[in-house]
Chains A and B, each alone.
Chain A
Amino acid sequence: MKKMNKTTKNNFINYGLVLVLFAVAQTLSATGNLSNLLQGLLVPLCVYTIASISLNLVVGFSGELSLGHAGFMCVGAYSSALFSNVVGDALPSVPRLILAILVGAAVAAVFGILIGVPVLRLRGDYLAIVTLAFGEIIKNLVNILYVGVDENGIHVTTNSSGLKLAAGGKKIMKGALGISGTSTLYKDIKPYFFLIGVILILITLFIVQNLVHSRSGRAIMAARDNRIAAESIGINVTKYKLLAFTVSAALAGVAGVLYAHNISMLKVSIFDYNLSIMILVYVVLGGIGSIRGSIIATIVLYALPEMLRGFSTYRMLIYAIVLIIMMLFNWAPAAIDWRKRVLEKIHNKLPKKEAA
């Protein structure tokens, strides 16, 4: 019973953390202490937070290295932006956005299953390279896709001139030029996008935390810790690896939806392996399997290059150095020992003071 309370408490600390950060950001922005530039970063920050929490489900709890997270974000972004543009003014913006989120999550989940079924047989770095490959394939294919809509329905081709639309038809997706104008469809609720982003983070937290602390989550972690033992007690390892992978893909899709609806011009070039790697960096630096760590690391690491803008050309260099040093400090056995010794020293000094 005590254990139960501890995990519940932990979960609520995470919800609280998100809400407090939201309140801080809102206060800063209301009192004019947040520059326009920083305000513009709030929604993307929500995007990457959702992405890193969901990736942690695969990397941390399922123990599989995925480098294709951007691919699922891409699928969610494009499918939902297409949906929003096709539906257009037929629906008011709030229900349209809710449906777009569901579409993005569902399509990304389908891709998660389609990709997960064949590749989850592979292990470790092989799985990493194959997920990276899938991410790049998705990016390449979206890059040549042209989609338009007219009175006869939706048309899809792979070259610009092949898109023959009836009069009054609308080109929505223009290959490398992507989809433009999605955010103007949501002009009326645009000021609330940060709030929407925070709500989506809370939903992501709810799903991931509750999943992890349930029968299925136990099965996912058992399969991570020892595949053979998990099978020996009747756990279908493949099924639970796929479950984690699919839920993670769906939530990455949600991150993609938020991204796609927040910018005026959706281009595929952002969804490359560098984005997947960036999110992986957040997850690993925040602590593999620590959801709170993912949230904090995303905020710190996403804000860091922006804070360093003053140093302009040096900022990415500093970022790289900080990244290497933090990794060494957090993970090198020598550094861990050293930290332990220092902590012990401090610990030993404190009671002495009391005694004196």
Chain B
Amino acid sequence: MAMLEVNHLSISFGGLHAVDNFNLNIEKGCLYGLIGPNGAGKTTVFNLLTGVYKPTEGIIRLDGQDITGKNTIDINKAGVARTFQNIRLFRQLSVLDNVKAGFHNHHPYSTFTGIFRLPKYFKTEKEMTSRAMEILKVFDLDKEADYLAGNLPYGKQRKLEIARAMATEPKLLLLDEPAAGMNPNETQELMDTIRFVRDHFDMTILLIEHDMKLVGGICEELTVLNFGQVLCQGETSAVLNDPAVITAYLGE
């Protein structure tokens, strides 16, 4: 069964069809790419999938469960985690605390327990710290655990955002332009990390990206979006050689 199933998804802002009749099927464990020219509506799709916007039409199913129209918090609880095009970290918190914040719903204890330092507080915090350090190690951030997130170099900030999203133990991970602003070396490293996350956690990943080397290098399937509509869908090599896609990217 598909991990993500999107049918006839549409939204319009004041008569403008930002996303129109969007369909998508992603199998569990797939590394899927969403590409398209600027303004094609890619981030809007992400915002629809994560409940930032409510669709005017269409159904979104995650692992068989209907999540259409739910709010961001419930969608995250249902198993969708994301990163952002313009990095959104908790800049004043430590790298470790950024990841621990991701555990919010998975290692809960009450405010009362926290204030009065009941045994559960110590036990849960210890668990969280060791789990967080494991995740940070995967992303090669364990040495910077005590740094303020805002003080990390750019490439590491992008990685930390992925680490934080992974801490929410998602079924589906959405990455919005993970390689934006990275140099070729960093991009190469990021590709390895994304592949590792998929293999290690058996994660289903949907990513938006402009870097064709990255897309061609790691995505198994692609959807091309143009003017809010699906232009082409299928296996990566086939899509990238599709004349319609080439035209959309390079112009006539």
Contacts and interface: CB of A to CB of B under 8 A. Distances in A.
User: Is A in direct contact with B (CB under 8 Å) within the complex?
Assistant: yes
Interface of A: 1-4, 206-207, 210-211, 214-219, 221-222, 224-226, 228-236, 243, 289
B89 A229 contact: yes
A214 B101 contact: no
A235 B101 contact: yes
Interface in B70-120: 71-73, 76-77, 81-82, 84, 88-94, 96-97, 100-102, 104-105, 107-109, 111, 113-117
A226 B125 CA distance: 22
A210 B108 CA distance: 16
Nearest to B78: A234
Contacts of B115: 206-207, 210-211, 214
Nearest to A208: B115
B89 A231 contact: no
A218 B168 contact: no
Given A215-B109, A228-B88, A232-B50, A3 B81 contact: no
29 contacts: A3-B96, A3-B145, A3-B146, A210-B115, A210-B116, A211-B111, A211-B114, A214-B111, A214-B115, A215-B107, A215-B114, A215-B124, A216-B114, A218-B100, A219-B104, A222-B90, A222-B93, A222-B101, A224-B92, A225-B89, A226-B90, A229-B88, A231-B71, A232-B50, A232-B72, A233-B76, A233-B81, A234-B76, A234-B104
B67 interface: no
A211 B121 CA distance: 11
Nearest to B164: A233
Contacts of B90: 221-222, 225-226, 229-230
B114 A232 contact: no
Of the four ranges (under 10, 10 to 19, 20 to 34, 35 or more), the interface on chain B belongs to 35 or more
A198 B105 CA distance: 37
B68 to A, nearest CB: 18
B135 interface: no
A54 to B, nearest CB: 14
* Most B Cβ at <10 Å: residue of A2, A3, A224: A3
Interface of B: 50, 52, 71-73, 76-77, 81-82, 84, 88-94, 96-97, 100-102, 104-105, 107-109, 111, 113-117, 121, 124-125, 129, 145-146, 164-165, 167-168
Interface centre among A1, A2, A214, A230 (most CB of B within 10 A): A214
A234 B105 contact: yes
Nearest to B116: A210
Contacts of A206: 115
A235 B89 CA distance: 14
Contact of B93 (A216, A221, A235): A221
A314 to B, nearest CB: 39
Contacts of A219: 101, 104
A12 to B, nearest CB: 13
Contacts of A229: 84, 88-90, 164
Nearest to A207: B115
Contacts of A234: 73, 76-77, 104-105, 168
A233 B101 contact: yes
A289 B148 CA distance: 15
Given A214-B114, A215-B109, A225 B93 contact: yes
Nearest to A235: B104
A234 B73 CA distance: 4
Contacts of B89: 225-226, 229
Contact of B114 (A217, A221, A233): A217
A229 B76 CA distance: 11
Contacts of B93: 218, 221-222, 225
B72 A231 contact: yes
Contacts of B107: 215
B118 to A, nearest CB: 11
